[in-house]
Chain A
Amino acid sequence: MAHPQAVSIFHGPLMRQAALDSVKKLSPRLMVRNPVMFVVEVGSVLTTLLWLRDLLAPAAGSAAWFSGAVTLWLWFTVLFANFAEALAEGRGKAQAAALRGLRKETMARKLVDGREVATPASDLRKDDVVVVEAGQLIPGDGEVIEGIASVDESAITGESAPVIRESGGDRSAVTGGTKVLSDRLVIRIGVNPGESFLDRMIGLVEGARRQKTPNEIALHVLLCGMTIIFLIACVTLVPFGIYSGLRISVTVIVALLVCLIPTTIGGLLSAIGIAGMDRLIRHNIIPMSGRAVEAAGDVDTILLDKTGTITLGNRMASELVPAPGVTAEALAEAAQLASLADETPEGRSVVVLAKEKFGLRGRDLAHVPATFVPFTAQTRMSGADLDGRSIRKGAADAIHKHVSALGGVMPIEVEQHVTRIAQSGGTPLAVSEGARVLGVIHLKDTVKGGLKERFDKFRSMGLRTVMITGDNPLTAAAIAAEAGVDDFLAQATPEDKLRLIRNEQGKGKLVAMTGDGTNDAPALAQADVAIAMNTGTQAAKEAGNMVDLDSNPTKLLEVVEVGKQLLMTRGCLTTFSIANDVAKYFAIIPALFLAVFPEIAPLDIMRLASPESAILSAVIFNALVIVALIPLALRGVRYRPLGAAALLRRSLLVFGLGGVVAPFVGIKAIDVVLAGLGLT
């Protein structure tokens, strides 16, 4: 897929396609989805008929050129609105087409009873097992069950650096259409034909997004209500006119109605929504629904995993501090033994440190007759049992509990070292043998650069950031302070995470989080905005409502911004649309009444050339303003992290006051041009 950013809004072919689509969208079946513009279309049909009548049977007082010109511009109003929507859709369609190109037919090497059978990729079903080797495309979404390999996922993510995929753990998910660069993978296919990630993505960028989101529906209700109000105001103007000896033609009433009803926002509303989703896609985040994008603007609390998000990758062992009466070598040896089976970077770093500092060779696992105890989130310890020795390594309090249970004690000196290390922002890991504590391993953490500024930005947006970590509270506090997050959850188990989310939601807050592991899935499902990393497990992706193709957890900020932008753009254009009406009244009403009541000339502050010119200028302005605002609707109003009050003051000034003033200038200018061209 071409990198999404390459497709510009005003790309020539896209514009041509959009122009074509905007005519197709005139079908009443489609128009009725947008009641405001549907009213304009009905009005246009009505004035078209009146224009034909004026042409065929000219009557006094209704000039065919006038009803013709009004009709033309009313149709333009509808077309411009359709064009905006078509243009917003166009880019998505282009992306979908690019994605479809990926779905070319490949032959998969399916394993049947240990033999390879060549099968078309499209025939693969869930639970089939296939082999993929270097240079081949992965035939479908699934999970690596054997092997480790580097995979080029640029087709999906646009990111050219290859990623590692291996069996077990959280990096086992692979996506169909990506390419294995090295080694060999055995993959269990996870989806049936037509349900793959690629299929869903194509569906999303072109189809599913047409669902109106909750706030969009509410706004539509408001706009419909206003349309009905103006319909009443305009229709009753006819009898009021009759009372006052003023004959107001239907063409004029329709023109006035179209000017007053909120066509600006009504015409651009769906384009704003589509463009909002599109902006996320350009950030390489695939929202599963528009609802999630809207919710992103409302997020109050952001949960961030420490590892990978706040700190740079992994902690490294930097120091071994023995307990009193224990030699450094004895500690190093025990620490190394306990870490041999620990494949995490932290575990490996312990082995490396022991080797470098004390010359202890890392023994091959196969030659050590040991039973290894794996790490679990519940015990928060790992270790090994060999030759009657029971060595454990883990969080200080976990080891404390462990040795206490065996009748041992945690020496006070060790406690002091643990505190010192933790306060410095490091992670202390205690090592024990049997009921005896041998000492502490110091794991060092590095906080990513530039995070403090980002979190400050979050804060000024009114968002609270909470760091989630398995570390003890002291370590967590030190890192939290360094990174500048508002709060932290230390020694977090998956259950704690879920509880935290439920707590926040109980207080009426909306929670956003990112996650990749299978054990994140329940929390992801509970969170209001849940971004699953593309590198994550299938379970995580199913539970989230967005997928981040770049697997970059700090992108939550962009997601929140896009959500806010989407809502702001709607609000600003609604305000602008309503504010415009003031000037339109001042353009049309005095001009209409002047014929019968010349005394109201002082009210005619715009001094337009004639009543016809006033109405035509207002209609033209009304249509052109839609076109003029298409770029803003597609790009979104710029979000500034200012706090709500400052933001509102700004927007009210620009779009409220601006909305009152702009049409005075615009309508007058159009009137001058029309008069200059001798049209009125």
Chain B
Amino acid sequence: MTANGWIQILFFFGAIALCAKPLGVFLHRVMEGERHFLAGPLGWLERLVYRLGGVSGEEQSWRAYAGGMLAFSAFTLLVTYLIQRLQHVLPFNPQGLGAVEAGSAFNTAASFTTNTNWQGYVGEATMSYLSQMAGLAWHNFISAAAGIAIATALARGLTRKGDGSRWGTIGNFWVDLTRATVYVLLPLCLVIALLFVSQGMIQNLAPYQEVATLEGGKQVIAMGPVASQEAIKQLGTNGGGFFNANAAHPFENPNALTNFLSMFLIFLIPGALTCTFGRMAKDPKQGWALFGAMSLLFLVGAGVTYWAEADGNPILAGLPVSQPIGNMEGKESRFGVANSALYATVTTDASCGAVNSMHDSFTPLGGLVPLFNIQLGEVVFGGVGAGLYGILVMAILSVFIAGLMVGRTPEYLGKKIETREVKLAMLYALVFPLVILAFTAWASVAPYGLSSRNNEGPHGLSEILYAFTSATGNNGSAFAGISANTPFYNTALGLAMLMGRFWMIVPVLAIAGALSGKKAAPPGLGTLPTGGPLFVVLLIGVTVIVGALTFFPALALGPIVEHFLAQAGKVL
């Protein structure tokens, strides 16, 4: 580890912390329909969308909200599937790529609809420019906007003054979706894409270039509208690369500045949303407490990964190989250990999944951190919107367990947490263990599950576990070792992604509806303070313990055993 490495990590964190408030305040204004500086120049676009879509904008119950969200997702899933299947007859296909195979098309459609961006295919060899732009990049916008919408809906449920009714309203899905897209994602991406192009990222619709190499050979170099997709890929915590190598590809991540910006964009909105929440609660401390808990989990994760990678590969320890800068296998020499470790932590903390190095080649502990980050529930900043609603559900559970210890029936922001909310929160919490562990267990004993592994032994188990964790967590990064473009993995991972998104969102919206109607008790000396360091500790404790208790046996047989084997100089 070097001072330079640490400075870069801390500089990155400082930039996120600085931007959280201004963007958070702006998001609050946008989502709650207050005045903001983009309402003038872009208001016509918002109104146009409403007129075209026949959106009345009235307040919806959680059922109507969830219904809209599900119908919208199902429709866009279908559209993306069809574009891929029909890309050979559609325009913008200079390479003449054929139709995408059905299993892969389903997997990809599910992947982009759920903001996962798991890629079982090789982008430059499979997807036409139309598929990339209309099928995939478009999803990057709307799945991220849907995340912001749902997080806002839950925040509304928690912070609205209820009238004591059983279910309250939580906003309008179509309005939330439109506002997040029109005022936040589109304008930011416009600026960022130009910035990326200025740094050497390509943006064209040209056919692939054939060039002569120095050795006299011939090489085909993939082209495409990269910068525009890259901007929303990072900002929307999507992570689906234009190229198979993702952000390790020089056209997708040309230099140190784009690398920094890429990471910065991943955390930008999730960090800001905590502030938005604080504004909605009319108590900024409530937002900062969530930010604090996320920050600590992030810094510890980044520190451990950096330490593990900088320490080098333990297998090589006894051999006459020197590793002065740490474990460089699978890493770009342009980025080095610190920036690769940081990127891996950031991309798995948030459910982004873009990678600038191969997680499969990390040391066992270095690879454990990204895996565990996702298993925590994608709540360390987390996906755009998904991170906020995820941590809020954890906060509700923490308040329920610990709130009792102060001698009151538990309440969060003055709203009583009762049977209905606990039931819904537990439904949410059950999805991860059920989907991840059940699918991994299945794949780890089935021949068609085992055959896709790149490695035997504990590392092979890590590969399977990582694949299902990444899919369920809607992360999309891969322990690149596994060959996931098989009928079993395409189907199973596709289902895991859909379950990991929608089985969790529906309870979240139900919680929002249930809390929205409740009257809030004013805080007093006897109420559990949820805006201070004590609550931060509690929230971290509950999040880590719930994650650890659920996944410890599986992790023990994967990366943990692998680590101890490596210490003994073995891989199996």
Contact = CB atoms under 8 A, between A and B. Distances in A.
A and B: real partners? yes
Interface of A: 214-215, 217-219, 221-222, 224-226, 228-230, 232-244, 246, 260, 294, 297-298, 300, 459-464, 507-510, 563-565, 567-568, 570-572, 574-575, 578-579, 581-582, 585, 589-590, 593, 597, 599-603, 639, 643-645, 647-649, 651-652, 655-656
Contact of A652 (B405, B437, B445, B545): B405
User: What 9 A-B pairs are tightest by C-beta distance, nearest first?
Assistant: A571-B404, A462-B526, A564-B407, A225-B426, A462-B525, A571-B405, A236-B441, A508-B521, A651-B405
B526 A508 contact: no
B414 A508 contact: yes
Contacts of B552: 233, 585, 589
Contacts of B195: none
Report the contact-size class of chain B (Cβ under 8 Å from the partner).
Answer: 35 or more
Given A222-B400, A647-B407, A240 B429 contact: no
Given A229-B430, A240-B444, 7 more contacts: A221-B422, A232-B434, A235-B441, A297-B408, A568-B405, A600-B564, A652-B537
A644 B437 contact: no
A189 to B, nearest CB: 40
B154 interface: no
A599 B567 contact: yes
Nearest to A566: B407
B283 interface: no
Contacts of A461: 525-526
Q: Please classify the interface of chain A as helix (H, G, I), strand (E, B), loop, or mixed, using the class held by over half of its residues.
A: helix
A567 B409 contact: yes
Contact of B526 (A218, A243, A463, A565): A463
B461 A243 contact: yes
B409 A298 contact: yes
8 contacts: A217-B419, A233-B554, A236-B554, A239-B445, A507-B521, A509-B521, A564-B408, A567-B404
Given A225-B430, A571-B402, A645-B529, A239 B442 contact: yes
Interface string B520-531: 111011111100
Tell me which of A235, A294, A565, A643 has the highest count of chain B C-beta atoms within 10 A of its own C-beta: A643
A218 B418 contact: yes
B52 interface: no
B561 A600 contact: yes
Contact of A242 (B445, B532, B568): B445
B540 to A, nearest CB: 12
B249 interface: no
A648 B409 contact: no
B122 interface: no
Contact of B564 (A459, A463, A599): A599
Contacts of B485: none
A238 B440 CA distance: 12
Contacts of B534: 645, 648-649, 652
A240 B553 contact: yes
Nearest to B521: A508
B328 interface: no
Contacts of A238: 441
Given A236-B437, A239-B444, A603 B404 contact: no
Contact of A593 (B429, B521, B522, B561): B561
B426 A652 contact: no
Contacts of A236: 437-438, 440-441, 553-554
A298 B521 CA distance: 10
Interface string B241-258: 000000000000000000
Contact of B556 (A235, A300, A462, A589): A589
Contact of A647 (B406, B524, B554): B406
Given A221-B419, A230-B549, A232-B433, A599 B565 contact: yes
Contact of A648 (B405, B438, B521): B405
Interface string B381-425: 000000000000000010011111111110000100111011100
